[in-house]
Amino acid sequence: MTCYTHLGEVIATRMPEKQSGVRVVRRHYLLVRCSHWLNVPILLGLILSGLSIYWASPVYKHKPDPLTGNIDPLADVGIWICAHVPGLHHYSSPPDWIYNDISLGPGMLAVALRLHWLCAYLFMLNGLVFVIGSAMGGGWRSLLPHRTDLRDALKMFRYYLGVPLAKLTRRSWLHPRFNTKYNALQRVAYFSVPVAGLLSVLTGWAIHKPMQLYWLAAILGGYDKARIWHFWLMWVFVLFVVPHVILVLADGWDTLRSMIVGWSTRSRDRRTFHNES
Amino acid sequence: MNLEDKTSALEPDKTSSTESVSPPKLASFFQEQPLQAMEVAPQPMRRWTRRDLLFFGMGAIAAVAAGGSLLPQTTLKRLGIIHGNQNWPKKEVSESSPAHR
């Protein structure tokens, strides 16, 4: 993969005067790119196996259903989906619909726990790679929140909300200006994801070793509260990933490519004044 | 090399900061560094892009293969990746009915 050194070599070998070069900016350090893409299968594995573990012992429970004896709200969601979505009326086990489709499956606690811990160790290792990569490339600075981030994030949010309407009505919809690598909304999101990752690891350890790490479980409000934290932190990742992928695809090939090759043909000046819609 | 320049540029700051920590230096340490624009010859750029995309594709295929090998058979059957009548590596078990859902 391209490292910054390669780009340095390219610059070092000066081009002939007549040959026009490509103007690029370095965006992502090699280790950060590796860490980013490794997160995709790891997080997928964590979520799929995590929901299988959840099936065995749901964090949230309600009174047993008089007909089915079901206590799991997620199973209720599956029942509702099978009752209302065309083509699923004859599904053999509606309470398991969620677990059959977005987990390893029901009744697989042992396998799910093994896979969850494998992915968890890889996740922690990957987090370390990210920290080293951010430190080496200096990218951690671009993730630090600014004082004006809340106001600017609202501006960006307003911009993103208005883009579809502007496209439909063919009106110009100017991108808010920013002079940093990421806009305020990206910064809030990209800063909160490593924090959520760290909290996921801490809550995971508190659940895994509640006796040995009783102090950690106590900090998190006890074993049951740690499970609730862990469950909702998964949703933080899901809620981050969905708009993240949509916005990257909407932003164009350059953004996606920059996370693979490390450089972008969009210089900051262009980003400041260019309407990305 | 710019990355090395960056680190070497930071080192004197670190040593000087042990003697007197001034707020402007601390602020500049936390301040985002500007993106460095550069002119690159198109030919090697294309070659390296191709190579990186190839590596990325190989990594993606490896991840899918590794994931597939780690997932339990029942999950793979439910996903339709393998069929119920395939019993490898256990050849002797042959009469199992397809267990789709």
**Minimum Cα–Cα distance from B46: chain A residue:** A22
Q: Is the pLDDT of residue B9 over 60?
A: no
The beta-carbon neighbor of A41 closest among B51, B67, B101 is B67
Tell me what pLDDT residue A19 has.
Answer: 55
The answer to whether B8 contacts chain A (CB < 8 Å) is no
Alpha carbon separation from A246 to A151, A199, A239, A252, B20 (Å, rounded): 23, 25, 12, 10, 47
Tell me what pLDDT residue A217 has.
Answer: 94
Pairing of strands A263-264, A22-26: antiparallel
**Minimum Cα–Cα distance from B8: chain A residue:** A136
Rounded CA separation A2/A220 (Å):
42
CB A201 within 8 A of CB A207: no
The answer to whether A110 contacts chain B (CB < 8 Å) is no
**Inter-chain CB proximity B41 and A21 less than 8 Å:** yes
CB B99 within 8 A of CB B76: no
A257 band by pLDDT with thresholds 50, 70 and 90: very high
Tell me what pLDDT residue B76 has.
Answer: 86
Rounded CA separation B68/A165 (Å):
41
ipTM over 0.90 threshold:
no
The distance of A260 to chain B (nearest Cα, Å) reads: 7
Tell me what pLDDT residue A14 has.
Answer: 43
pLDDT tens per residue, range B35-74 = 778 888 888 889 989 999 999 999 999 999 999 899 888 8
Count CB-CB contacts under 10 A for residue A64.
10
The answer to whether A181 contacts chain B (CB < 8 Å) is yes
Tell me what pLDDT residue B34 has.
Answer: 77
pLDDT tens per residue, range B74-94 = 888 887 777 765 555 554 544
Lowest mean pLDDT among A48-52, A151-155, A267-271: A267-271
Test mutation, B33, B48, B64, B76, chain A, max A CBs within 10 A: B48
pLDDT tens per residue, range A120-166 = 999 999 999 999 988 888 888 888 888 888 888 888 888 888 888 88
A2 band by pLDDT with thresholds 50, 70 and 90: very low
**Inter-chain CB proximity A144 and B32 less than 8 Å:** yes
Q: Percent of chain A having pLDDT more than 90?
A: 47
Mean of pLDDT over chain A = 86
Amino acid A236 reads V
